[in-house]
Structure 1
């Protein structure tokens, strides 16, 4: 078997693995929205997806893990690649000018691909909120989501994850989605997710544009500085 054929088979297996995992997550969330966390069994979930119990436990240790899912696995490869490619034209060591606009497109595309309706998401949130034991898993999922986004940012911008600009961007993006998501899933909401997210982004842009520079802080201070040896010190 040639290397290209082997790589193609590996790629196909990986795509099938991701598709199966997402099918399990989608079914688990749909069943939770309809029946609550305790309203269905792993066997019923497997029947819905068309897999065996053994296959289920190859992906998840428990039903609750399937309900919450894995944020890193829920980012489609094509969307990740498109987002990363948007930073290729930026100057080395600086943030790309289109970063904020590209993030809005990325977040909207993710929302558009969600295999769950607004009504199901609302029911899912209510069901999960009624289960205190899931709180730690939710927090762990939030950390995973932040790590996945940080990996995308570092790949796109060519800056280390600990760079203050990457950390600030990560915090900002998290705040934007944490505000836009609940607003979009409100039962009475009729506005598009892009409209809600763009409204918040525009407000932040106006805030930063109107703000005076902070005293004693200049952009070069955020740039990476070369290491200093003892002989360079006065």
Structure 2
């Protein structure tokens, strides 16, 4: 999805072994690191300046992240909300054989939950992605982390469905969701007084579903 390169934006549940206060601090460090990057460029601020903005000591910073670059990209487990993930994994209908008939709807519900965040957070992250492509160090990390996290997400979906992690249909679906999220955020930011972010996302997904519901071969019946 939108932040497969840095972890999905949103308020995740508390990872095992990490207290709510510590999680809040870790999220704040990453959020402010991205905002400072968007404002000043990656080389335009120091760890000390980041710490001052968050309200922590340098020592505390290094309890959470080894480097400034690590802080910018955050922890993978700080992405998808834990409670939402649990609901998604448990939503597969009992007794289903093969790909479940609710998979797409369950995934759309998961993404919509991620998108229920405030406008300021979305705008800050979007600014980060805008500058990311001009920063070689950031781009290099994204090229490594992005595919890894996308693969983790795809493997999670495949695990729920009881298929191999390299299932082509699951991979295609994950990429479609990522594209739809990217496009929705672009539209939302371009028209802040227009439809909500969720509505923009659903609009893109409806357009996608309309095309993929067409017959694959001439003479085939429409997909149901």
Shared topology, TM-score over 0.5?
A: yes
Q: Distance in 2 between matches of 1:75 and 1:115?
A: 18
For these two proteins, the number of residue pairs brought into alignment is 206
Residue 113 of structure 1 pairs with residue 117 of structure 2: yes
Match status 1:161 vs 2:165: yes
* 1:202–1:74 distance in 2 versus 1, CA, 3 Å: same
**Once the 2 structures are TM-superposed, how far is the Cα of residue 123 of structure 1 from its aligned partner?**
3.0
Equivalent of residue 50 in structure 2, options 22, 30, 45: 45
Q: CA deviation at 1:141?
A: 2.8
Matches within 5 A, 1:1-234: 11=16, 13=18, 15-89=20-94, 91-92=96-97, 94-113=98-117, 116-186=120-190, 190-213=194-217
Larger Cα-atom Rg = 1
Deviations 1:28-87 (CA, angstroms, capped at 9, x unpaired): 123333433333210121233343323323433322232232344211211111111222
> For structure 1, which runs of at least 5 residues remain unmatched after alignment?
1-9, 216-234
Instruction: Indicate the structure with greater helix content.
Output: 1
Runs of 4+ in structure 1 displaced over 6 angstroms?
none
> CA contact under 8 A between 1:70 and 1:144: conserved in structure 2?
no
Q: Which residue of 2 aligns with 1:226?
A: none
Please give the root-mean-square deviation of Cα atoms over the aligned residues, in Å: 3.0
Quote the Cα distance in structure 2 between the aligned partners of 1:214 and 1:169. Answer: 23
User: SS where residue 195 of structure 2 aligns?
Assistant: coil
Aligned partners of 2:45 and 2:197: how far apart in 1? 31
User: TM-score under structure 1 normalisation?
Assistant: 0.73
Give the conservation status (yes or no) of the 8 Å contact 2:35–2:127. no
Q: Structure 1 residue 204: deviation in Å?
A: 2.1
